[in-house]
Structure 1
Amino acid sequence: AALGALTPGLARQLLGTPAVWALVAGHFAYAWGHYLLLAWLPTYLHQVHGVAKDDMALACIPFLAMAVAVGWWAVLADAWATKASLTTVRKGMTTIGLGGAAVLMLLTPLARSATSAILLVSASLAVQAAAGSGAVINHADLAPRQASVLLSLSNTFATLPGMVAVPLASAIVETRWGSWEHVFALASAVLFAGLLIYRRYASAEPLILRA
């Protein structure tokens, strides 16, 4: 088949492979944490810590931290790959990224100042960036010739948090019993779930696909 071509037979093989759905789960969890903070961090800082809207440039700091960290995690992953199997590296980087972010998400509501909240969220996104060298790049390992197809599949699911996590956070906070603690706890649970599925079923071994 031509590079990137997807026949019905190839589609069935890919969709029937647990490792494919493992990377989808990892990508979904990664996107949940990212979209949630992208949409709601300014509101959280304003409502909980009294940050004025004119000072919302502070909300950019965690995403700058993530942008810087992703390159360093890639260097670490490359170095690790010279000493361990690629599957070990992908699972390890995803564990650091999703697991670390999940823990830091749980700690964020404990922040007692805007500064400590920004530091915790910055750490969360910087650590989460490690998954960029794990589940989020796993497509090229499994099926180099169909990597674009796999990325399209996982990215389709990874857009769902933008449609679900964002309005769900609003609904939780606006209910009588809801709070930001519940929002962050849910995000942590999603991150942990994605991590567990990925660690159980993921692989970086190339699939043997029949055209």
Structure 2
Amino acid sequence: MTNFIPIFPLNIVVYPDEILHLKIFEPRYKQLITECYADNKPFGIPVVANNKITDFGTLVEIKEIVTIHADGKMDIVTKGIAVFKILEIIQQIPDKLYSGAIVTYPTNQIRPMYTYLKPVLSNIRELFKQLQVTKDFKKKEEELLSYDVAHHVGLTQEQEITLLCLFKELERIEFLRRHLLQILPLVQGMELLKEKIKLNGHFKELKGFNF
């Protein structure tokens, strides 16, 4: 399917089903949000990387306009719907301050595959333990998708874009699995280094070497 959508390019990656809170302050995007909300229409968030719009982004719907401030700024809540690929950007739209794009929606497999995600979740728990952080994914573990955890495992923006361009859940899970296998030893090594630094200069009870 191909269609035209208004776009709001941002330097972030949004995944399907993700809840995103935004503060809207530019006149062109206040117009975009006002019109999309009134017409109950979604808009697109293409990913901006290295100061240019990439070919991919995510269609989002406006769930709520939380606050409209006295100066016209808005606090809104959006939710990701589907990944799109840009075919053409339309910079000038008659009577509009914002731009748009003609996009297509690649076929995307979005369904939980818990059997395969389970060992990845185990590694994520180990990562959180090492970093001493807690996260609530607000879903039952069996219902989690790769998208639900992707922002919480230390991916770079380039890696997040790569994951956005994978359209099978198994491929996304494998991508996360490999990433975690790479970074876990690094994090664990950092913890050992921190312990060594803490011990430096303190009295140590050490057993002598027998020779």
Range of TM-score over shorter length? under 0.3
Which structure would you say has the larger Rg? Answer: 2
Structure with larger RCO (C-alpha < 8 A, sep 6+): 1
Q: TM-score, normalised by structure 1?
A: 0.27
Q: TM-score, normalised by structure 2?
A: 0.27
